[in-house]
Structure 1
Amino acid sequence: MLTFIALAMILVFILSLSMRKLNVFGALTIVPFVFGVIAALVKGKSVLDVFTWIKNGIFYTQNATTGKVSMGVISPAIIILFAVLFFGVMLYAGLFDPLSEFFIKKAKGDPLKVTLATVLVASVVTLNGDTTTTIIIVIAAFLSLWKQMNMKLIYLAIIVVTPIGIFNQLPWGGPTIAAATALDVEISTLFASILPGMLVAEVYAIFMAYWLGKKERKRLNFDPKTTAELHPEVLQEMLNAIRENEPEKKRPKLFWFNLGLTILVLTLLLMDVVHGSVLFMLGTAIALKVNYWDVPTAKGILDDLAPDALPPALATLAAGAFSGILGGSGMSAALATSIAGIIPSGLGAHMAPIYAIIAAPAITFLPQDAFYFGIASVLAGVMGQFGISPDQAAVASMVGQSFRLISPVIPALYMLCERTETNFVDFQKEYTKYAWPILFIYLIVHTVTGAMPL
């Protein structure tokens, strides 16, 4: 009976998001609460137990026998809150501007240099973890140049989203937060496991941009031996897209301080010396005080960043209701046992790569939270019965991120296609055509490093 209730809860959860009947926050709280009450009544438990399950999902639980403590979602929620604020402050202060301007100036009139500059600028800007911001800034900087040179705008769309899909897996990115929260693993551990694959994927993204640039050279009959230069007005227009993006908030004189602070925070984060939430909280406070000295200005910056920081943090906290009820009610264990019972024993040991491949379309066409909390969290329990650890299951669940950036449920992609005058379906086809190797890069690298069992 619990298996049936769990399946019904997951189905209603996914449909409520897919059909836009509830937002993420509502779906992660209302749906599990209703089904949690049903599960409590079926088990003969008090309805008040549902509130305990939610509390445990948000904060922590302790095994009465072993004494082991399992953290809830409070830790990743605080990390994502302060990480978004930290990188938002750095983006406003103009930390990434000099590098972006350098790449733009080096592009000149060579299609190959333009594609490489585009992918490098996108890779730098997307470090803040926000898809929409990256698309807005990069398209604003490069669209006029691509049009002037008569380059294929669909290539521009592909080159922009490829690094976004890779660097969305940084510790403050939505997918990593969702995977770590849903599967109850440490964000730092998960990130350390997937980082080698991300780096190799970024090398491929640069190679892909190089390849597309070579194709455009050939199509446009461009001779790299010529001394073609950008028209000064076009170059200035591109640079202005960077420089005039809220110029009153930029602090160019504090570039070296901001760079040093960012490197220090990221280094300590990767070394796991201090918890990420503490690092980003202190980093945000210091960055705000140094860059925006007076209190009203600093408050204004926080107010401006609130729409970016609050929704993912609230969704992460709300995920505690979902995971807490799914686990506390026994639905998760019942569902995992039922699925494990129908899997041939010879196939079970190889579930990680199989799951990683078949999960790619699921993570593409389902809302991210629907996938991680509705599917990945359950299948992690199934894989656990075949000796696959939660950390390894989390790594396998991230492989599908290679195709996440063609998802029809990401609104920013429609803006991208509109600006690049590209049909959305054509964009999906072209991205798949050129970016499919990233899926196998993740599979190979994760297997070689031991992050995911074969």
Structure 2
Amino acid sequence: MLTLIGILIIVTIVTLLMTGKTSPIVSMSIIPLIGALIAGFSISEISTFFEAGLMKVSKVATMFLFAILFFSILKELRVFDPMIKTMVRMTRGNVIVVAVMTTLIAAVVHLDGSGAATFLIIIPALLPLYRKLGMSPYLMLLLMAGSMGVMNMVPWGGPLGRSAAVTGIDASVLWQSLIPVQIFGVMIMAGFAVIFGMREQRRIAVARLNGTTPFELDCMATDLADDCFDDDSEEIKPKYLWVNLGLVVIAVIALAFGLFSAPYVFMIALSLVLVINFPKPKQQMEVISRHAPQALSMVAIIFAAGAFLGILSESGMLKSIAIDLIRILPSGWVGSLHIMVGMLGVPLDLFTSTDAYYFALLPIIHEVTATAGVPVESVVYAMAIGNNAGTFVSPFSPATWLAMGLAGTDMGRHLRYSFGWIWLFSFSLLAVGFLLKLY
């Protein structure tokens, strides 16, 4: 019963998000409540589930609030314009080079294993470039998601940490065999980027001929760096460019080395940006008011996602789904069950959270495959490689919602645009793992 209701809740929400029938706040607030009531839980129990969900996302929501305000104000001050000009000159307006560059930058920045930090660093810097070239922001998210999914398999990342907790094998030991997979994975994703870049180039060319360029703002030529950033409005140009850039660098270093809690990093960074660029309290409140709607909208979505996750996880629905998904598979597949689950890793991200996948599903798969003599390491490798590629196309990932807010994109459209390609990419990663005899 819990499995059926849980699946109906998830399918309903994903369908509503993909079709754009309701806002994320409405769907993730109301649908889980209805499902929990049908499952027979009392109001007090549902309230407890809700509060547990809020506790899980409160830190993330706080970080989102201050981070979005921080980067939105820097964008208004045009702090990133020189960086974009330099990148445009380097790429000479070449869409393919921009696509490959996005993939490689995402891989390097995501070495810290934090999806939220990677999106916060890259999207504000690259989004103006994509818009100036007429490139789709959904392509940027697809390329970042694939590259970040590969690099997410580091010992300090969530998946291997969870796997280590379940299996008792040190995360660094598990990672050593995955390093070649990561190297090949980045290379494969760079190849994907070339193909996607060529496709995007053709789309832009056709759109220009038809006069329909939905993602283009003003410029399309290779002289973009010289013409597209000219602006005589002195009041919107930063007076303290290097100081502001220094704040960005310091914030990134603080995030990467964990010097402060992430929400506190952006709280301090925002305060310093306000004091430096808007010394009068009235100016500070005015600039916050200009960007508050975007920040508050994102925080509201994160809290709604917390309610959604809290009800599904605390009620036992996610664990029930994970167990019953295994039971429907043919018994003759026992020896290769971990590989089959790995192949389903990306779509499973739409039905189970990361916690459910590793804490509920992994032990079950291990127990089943152990009867066929499959080593536990092989189970971890197959499941981690297959699942990680889809981490940042899943509505269960708070970082993905952050990316939607930063890029001004829609979750449903992101799923439609990226899901199939990311799943295909996961097959290539699984093939690499198979050739390396990891399972």
TM-score band by shorter chain is: 0.5 to 0.7
What displacement does 1:54 show? 0.8
Structure 1, unaligned runs of 5 or more: 60-71, 144-155, 217-232, 364-370, 417-424
Alignment of 1:169-208 (within 5 A): none
Label 1:236 to 1:295 Cα distance change in 2 as closer, same or farther (>3 A).
farther
What displacement does 1:412 show? 5.2
Q: Which residue of structure 1 aligns with residue 247 of structure 2?
A: 261
Amino acid at match of 2:142: G
- Rounded Cα–Cα distance in structure 2 between residues aligned with 1:161 and 1:289: 35
Label 1:32 to 1:242 Cα distance change in 2 as closer, same or farther (>3 A).
same
Residue 297 of structure 2 corresponds to residue 311 of structure 1:
yes
- Rounded Cα–Cα distance in structure 2 between residues aligned with 1:76 and 1:391: 28
Q: Which residue of structure 2 aligns with residue 399 of structure 1?
A: 389
Label 1:238 to 1:101 Cα distance change in 2 as closer, same or farther (>3 A).
closer
Label 1:276 to 1:213 Cα distance change in 2 as closer, same or farther (>3 A).
closer
- Rounded Cα–Cα distance in structure 1 between residues aligned with 2:427 and 2:130: 28
What displacement does 1:30 show? 0.6
- Rounded Cα–Cα distance in structure 1 between residues aligned with 2:186 and 2:284: 35
Q: Which residue of structure 1 aligns with residue 142 of structure 2?
A: 165
Residue 97 of structure 2 corresponds to residue 116 of structure 1:
yes
Alignment of 1:96-175 (within 5 A): 96-106=80-90, 115-116=96-97, 120=101, 129=120, 137-142=128-133, 162-167=139-144
TM-score, normalised via structure 2 length: 0.61
Query: Do the aligned partners of 2:67 and 2:120 also contact (CA within 8 Å) in 1?
Result: no
Q: Which residue of structure 2 aligns with residue 5 of structure 1?
A: 5
- Rounded Cα–Cα distance in structure 1 between residues aligned with 2:95 and 2:143: 20
Match of 1:56 among 19, 37, 52: 52
Deviations 1:300-350 (A, max 9, x none): 332332343223322221122222222332323332222233346786787
- Aligned residue pairs, count: 362
What displacement does 1:24 show? 0.8
Label 1:444 to 1:377 Cα distance change in 2 as closer, same or farther (>3 A).
same
Q: Which residue of structure 2 aligns with residue 73 of structure 1?
A: 57
What displacement does 1:262 show? 1.8
Residue 5 of structure 2 corresponds to residue 28 of structure 1:
no
Amino acid at match of 1:292: F
Please identify, of 160-169 and 47-56, the stretch whose mean Cα deviation from structure 2 is larger: 160-169
Match of 2:362 among 378, 383, 389: 383
Label 1:278 to 1:122 Cα distance change in 2 as closer, same or farther (>3 A).
same
- Rounded Cα–Cα distance in structure 1 between residues aligned with 2:102 and 2:253: 22
Amino acid at match of 1:80: F
Query: Do the aligned partners of 1:119 and 1:209 also contact (CA within 8 Å) in 2?
Result: yes
- Rounded Cα–Cα distance in structure 2 between residues aligned with 1:114 and 1:14: 31
Query: Do the aligned partners of 1:83 and 1:280 also contact (CA within 8 Å) in 2?
Result: yes
Q: Which residue of structure 1 aligns with residue 73 of structure 2?
A: 89
Deviations 1:191-248 (A, max 9, x none): xx999988987776667777999999xxxxxxxxxxxxxxxx9666544433549864
What displacement does 1:77 show? 1.7
Alignment of 1:178-257 (within 5 A): 238-244=225-231, 248-251=235-238, 253-255=240-242, 257=243
- Rounded Cα–Cα distance in structure 2 between residues aligned with 1:321 and 1:99: 39
Alignment of 1:263-278 (within 5 A): 263-278=249-264
- Rounded Cα–Cα distance in structure 1 between residues aligned with 2:434 and 2:64: 28
What displacement does 1:99 show? 2.1
Match of 2:313 among 319, 327, 340: 327
TM-score, normalised via structure 1 length: 0.59
Alignment of 1:393-432 (within 5 A): 396-400=386-390
- Rounded Cα–Cα distance in structure 2 between residues aligned with 1:170 and 1:279: 26
- Rounded Cα–Cα distance in structure 2 between residues aligned with 1:3 and 1:298: 50
What displacement does 1:165 show? 2.8
Query: Do the aligned partners of 1:268 and 1:274 also contact (CA within 8 Å) in 2?
Result: yes
- Rounded Cα–Cα distance in structure 1 between residues aligned with 2:278 and 2:434: 46
- Rounded Cα–Cα distance in structure 1 between residues aligned with 2:280 and 2:286: 10
Amino acid at match of 1:295: P
Label 1:29 to 1:445 Cα distance change in 2 as closer, same or farther (>3 A).
farther
- Rounded Cα–Cα distance in structure 1 between residues aligned with 2:340 and 2:49: 32
What displacement does 1:51 show? 0.9
Aligned-residue RMSD, C-alpha? 5.4
Label 1:198 to 1:36 Cα distance change in 2 as closer, same or farther (>3 A).
same
Query: Do the aligned partners of 1:197 and 1:445 also contact (CA within 8 Å) in 2?
Result: yes
What displacement does 1:385 show? 2.4
- Rounded Cα–Cα distance in structure 1 between residues aligned with 2:293 and 2:183: 30
Q: Which residue of structure 1 aligns with residue 165 of structure 2?
A: none
Amino acid at match of 1:116: V
- Rounded Cα–Cα distance in structure 2 between residues aligned with 1:9 and 1:353: 27
What displacement does 1:35 show? 1.5
- Rounded Cα–Cα distance in structure 2 between residues aligned with 1:310 and 1:10: 25
Q: Which residue of structure 2 aligns with residue 68 of structure 1?
A: none
What secondary structure, in the 3-state scheme, does the structure 2 residue paired with 1:242 have? coil
- Rounded Cα–Cα distance in structure 2 between residues aligned with 1:196 and 1:287: 42
Query: Do the aligned partners of 2:145 and 2:389 also contact (CA within 8 Å) in 1?
Result: no
Query: Do the aligned partners of 2:318 and 2:353 also contact (CA within 8 Å) in 1?
Result: no
Q: Which residue of structure 2 aligns with residue 148 of structure 1?
A: none
- Rounded Cα–Cα distance in structure 1 between residues aligned with 2:61 and 2:409: 23
Deviations 1:20-55 (A, max 9, x none): 3321111111111111122235xxxx4322111111
Query: Do the aligned partners of 1:50 and 1:325 also contact (CA within 8 Å) in 2?
Result: yes
- Rounded Cα–Cα distance in structure 2 between residues aligned with 1:131 and 1:196: 25
- Rounded Cα–Cα distance in structure 2 between residues aligned with 1:373 and 1:312: 23
Could you tell me the percent identity over the aligned residues? 19
What displacement does 1:75 show? 1.8
Label 1:323 to 1:260 Cα distance change in 2 as closer, same or farther (>3 A).
same
Label 1:249 to 1:24 Cα distance change in 2 as closer, same or farther (>3 A).
same
Label 1:273 to 1:28 Cα distance change in 2 as closer, same or farther (>3 A).
same
Amino acid at match of 2:304: A
What secondary structure, in the 3-state scheme, does the structure 1 residue paired with 2:43 have? coil
Label 1:283 to 1:199 Cα distance change in 2 as closer, same or farther (>3 A).
farther
